[in-house]
Chain A
Amino acid sequence: MTEATVVPARATREAYRDRLVAQLAEQAKLICLDTDTGLFGGVDFGPAADRYVNLGIAEQNLMGVAAGMAAAGWTPYVNTFAAFAAARAIEAVKIDIAYNALPVRIAATHSGLAAGHLGPTHQALEDLAVMRALPNMTVVVPADAAAVEAVMEQATRLPGPLYLRLGRKATPAVPTAEPLVIGQVQMLRPGHEVVLVACGPHPVRAALAAAEELAAEGIEPVVLNMHTVKPLDVAGLCAATADARLVVTVEEHWRGGGLGSAVTETLAEHGPVPVVRVGMPDTFASYVGGHEPLLDHYGISAPAVAAAVREHLPRFSPPANPRRGGHPVVDPNGSGRVRREVEQ
């Protein structure tokens, strides 16, 4: 996708790096623990230089050290690839960090298929499933650089751990009128009958582009940016899908366990609303290619989202007694439309 934007394209991991360097100067008890990722190469930390520590290629140790420091009153940001954070180091994340509800911020780069031609050893298509299973964990997938900065600002007031899912290469800014608030779904496009729920730079833009494509055919999907996968904005999701015939989730993750599963579980309990999940099929990537060719190849793209809507929408009839008539306008805050028995 090459649409012109006012804000230049920027990698979420670079936005993270630059914001963290600024925060280290502002917050005395903040520390950056690295595992030789190279992300901070050439960075001048100035007076905060003793609060950047490269622990070497040892991700289990990274999580344990971070937990120890957090228990001693520090707030560590730890850097590693998503593949290593959510797999190799997961027991330390579970026991040392999540169990103790410690304020460790896990900055996980190269998420999804972002590692591209580096292959499945470096791709992370299970991390959302793993991280959202852990009590106390907050799981956020910023869709652009501005979202990263908003999350990091709000993270200064977050008492527990944070999994911050980041990409690798530059991605365009996502147009949004609303400020990002952790735990609150953002409505990017109003519509009716069909709701596209996405997270992450490429899925969100794929959902927006698919919506424009479908609009030309008379289908006007709502597009939601569900940047916070945990805690899921149950009330916001239920409000936005109250009149939906079909919900389609879009994520850069295996179809099992991630955003699609979180949305499906919620709507099965509170809807019910039919859900179709667009994401990585149940396979390791065997196709060699860069990030975007891989997304296209495995169907995490605007055409794939539009095709899913065209294929599945006819399966589900319009409700016999629509609760709000035929063409609801979704209230992005959703407060007036949430059923009172919905659990948060």
Chain B
Amino acid sequence: MTAVLEPAATRAPQSLAELTGRARRIRQHIVDVCTGGEGGHLGGSLSLVEVLTALYFDVLTVDPERPQAPERDIFLLSKGHGAVGLYATLAERGFFDPAELAGFGRPGSRLMAHPVCAVPGVEMPTGSLGHGLALGVGFALAARLDRSPRRTYVALGDGELQEGSVWEAAAGAAGLGLDQLTAVVDRNGFQLTGVTEQICPLEPLADRWRSFGWAVREVDGNDMAQVQSALRAAPWTPGRPSVLIARTVKGAGVPFVADRVASHYVRFTERQHARASAALRRQARGDGDD
């Protein structure tokens, strides 16, 4: 353990093989957690796995041994219902023992179904949508005033963008010129009861962010190389906050729930768990989806 963490800018990129391997293990954790018990928010956790993996295993300056290290970067899961994915990632990264994941949502566990600060690595509690970006603006503004190299990353759901407070923060961040701030939109196209474009349309989403003064990039959010490359390169325009629109598949990695609204909250049976795990193993071997 070094006294001061090495910033991402001077670290060599993590290999794609390492990242994809981690992503598969994180997906397995998520599938495990969403089996039995209370179940969990499966679809929106799986869709964000490449983003979480690229951040925690390559981009973010963090130290699992020192979750509060002052020189760390900040990640906020504004779409707090993706807690299963965040917990799985934190556990895989070493912030806590992955065995603890089995207690998710159960009496006495600290793994509440929306992120809480009692979990090592969680910076702020989230879950009520529309809070994370303003918090991120606060962290980024603090870093600027502190003359700190700290970067702040905020993951938003696409349905979450229907909350007006997101756009207060978006306008505020651009007005302040906070290029220390990067937002990621998990654009999986679904919200709780259906398709975003049929409920409260968001497109043209990139134009919307651009018109608020943000630097915008769009990638296949389940393509690790694209996600890693884009996140490592931020800020893309000096003086502007960056937003990565990650076009993802809700439930990505588990073919029999992927791209379906029903993947939002799932409690797998043991048989479904076996089927999902087999699909993840096949992807690891390169056999493709079933």
| Residues of A participating in the B interface, judged by any CB pair closer than 8 Å | 31, 50-51, 53, 55-56, 58, 60-61, 63-74, 91-92, 95-96, 99-100
CB distance from B11 to the nearest CB of A (A): 23
Residues on A with C-beta less than 8 A from B136 are 68
Q: How far is the CA of A21 from the CA of B165 in the complex (A)?
A: 29
Report yes or no: A31 in contact with B131, Cβ–Cβ below 8 A. no
A92-B165, A96-B131 given; name 18 further pairs at CB < 8 Å: A53-B141, A55-B172, A56-B175, A60-B130, A60-B168, A64-B131, A64-B135, A64-B165, A65-B138, A65-B172, A66-B138, A68-B134, A68-B142, A71-B138, A72-B139, A73-B146, A91-B131, A95-B125
CB distance from A77 to the nearest CB of B (A): 14
Report yes or no: B135 in contact with A96, Cβ–Cβ below 8 A. yes
A60 in contact with B141 given A68-B136, A100-B117 (CB within 8 Å): no
Residues on A with C-beta less than 8 A from B172 are 55-56, 58, 61, 65
Interface residues on B, range: 20 to 34
Q: How far is the CA of A173 from the CA of B135 in the complex (A)?
A: 39
In the complex, which of the residues A69, A92, A95 contacts B141, with contact meaning CB atoms closer than 8 Å? A69
| Residues of B participating in the A interface, judged by any CB pair closer than 8 Å | 74, 117, 123-125, 128, 130-131, 133-143, 145-146, 164-165, 168-169, 171-172, 175-176
B154's closest neighbor in chain A, by CB?
A68
Residues on A with C-beta less than 8 A from B124 are 67-68, 71, 96, 100
Residues on A with C-beta less than 8 A from B137 are 61, 64-65, 68
Report yes or no: B123 in contact with A71, Cβ–Cβ below 8 A. yes
7 shortest A-B CB distances, which residue pairs? Answer: A68-B138, A64-B134, A72-B142, A61-B168, A58-B168, A68-B135, A65-B138
Residues on B with C-beta less than 8 A from A58 are 168-169, 171-172
Q: How far is the CA of A66 from the CA of B138 in the complex (A)?
A: 6
In the complex, which of the residues A51, A72, A91, A99 contacts B138, with contact meaning CB atoms closer than 8 Å? A72
In the complex, which of the residues B133, B142, B145, B168 contacts A50, with contact meaning CB atoms closer than 8 Å? B145
Residues on B with C-beta less than 8 A from A61 are 134, 137, 165, 168-169, 172
CB distance from B8 to the nearest CB of A (A): 19
CB distance from B218 to the nearest CB of A (A): 25
Q: How far is the CA of A153 from the CA of B76 in the complex (A)?
A: 33
Q: How far is the CA of A74 from the CA of B148 in the complex (A)?
A: 14
Q: How far is the CA of A100 from the CA of B131 in the complex (A)?
A: 13
Residues on A with C-beta less than 8 A from B128 are 91, 95
Cβ contacts A to B, 24 pairs, < 8 Å: A31-B145, A55-B175, A58-B168, A58-B169, A58-B172, A61-B134, A61-B172, A63-B134, A64-B134, A64-B138, A65-B141, A65-B172, A68-B124, A68-B138, A68-B142, A71-B138, A72-B146, A73-B142, A74-B145, A91-B131, A95-B125, A95-B128, A96-B124, A96-B131
Q: How far is the CA of A66 from the CA of B131 in the complex (A)?
A: 12
CB distance from B159 to the nearest CB of A (A): 17
Residues on B with C-beta less than 8 A from A91 are 128, 131
Residues on B with C-beta less than 8 A from A55 are 172, 175
Q: How far is the CA of A242 from the CA of B166 in the complex (A)?
A: 52
Residues on B with C-beta less than 8 A from A64 are 131, 133-135, 137-138, 165, 169
Residues on B with C-beta less than 8 A from A68 are 124, 134-142
Residues on B with C-beta less than 8 A from A51 are 145
Residues on A with C-beta less than 8 A from B117 are 100
Residues on B with C-beta less than 8 A from A99 are 125
Report yes or no: A92 in contact with B134, Cβ–Cβ below 8 A. yes
CB distance from A63 to the nearest CB of B (A): 7
B139's closest neighbor in chain A, by CB?
A68
Residues on A with C-beta less than 8 A from B131 are 64, 91-92, 95-96
Q: How far is the CA of A118 from the CA of B139 in the complex (A)?
A: 36
Q: How far is the CA of A12 from the CA of B250 in the complex (A)?
A: 53
Q: How far is the CA of A65 from the CA of B172 in the complex (A)?
A: 9
CB distance from A80 to the nearest CB of B (A): 13
Residues on B with C-beta less than 8 A from A66 are 138
CB distance from B87 to the nearest CB of A (A): 19
Q: How far is the CA of A91 from the CA of B124 in the complex (A)?
A: 15
CB distance from B60 to the nearest CB of A (A): 16
Q: How far is the CA of A301 from the CA of B130 in the complex (A)?
A: 42
